[in-house]
Amino acid sequence: MQFSIMTVFALAAVAIAVPTGIAKRQVVGNAIPANVPAMTDASGNVIPFSAKDVYVAPGN
């Protein structure tokens, strides 16, 4: 009997939690293919990654 009551409570908790929409899918405006390296800029936009544009400070 305890197992079935706990099961009902667990299912009720899932039913309450599902419609809250904690994680939402983001719509990417510039459709970058999945096999191309990408990163985000300061504004959070997804942009293609280019290694030649990365600044590396000179080392000693």
DSSP state of 9: H
DSSP state of 23: S
- The continuous run of DSSP H or E covering 41 comes out as none
- The model's pTM is 0.39
Q: Measured between alpha carbons, how far is 47 from 59 in angstroms, rounded to an integer?
A: 28
In sequence order, which residues have a C-beta less than 8 Å from that of residue 13 and are 6 or more positions away?
none
- 23: tokens are 């994680």
Q: Measured between alpha carbons, how far is 30 from 40 in angstroms, rounded to an integer?
A: 12
Per-residue model confidence as pLDDT tens digits over 2-35: 678 888 888 888 878 766 556 666 665 667 787 8
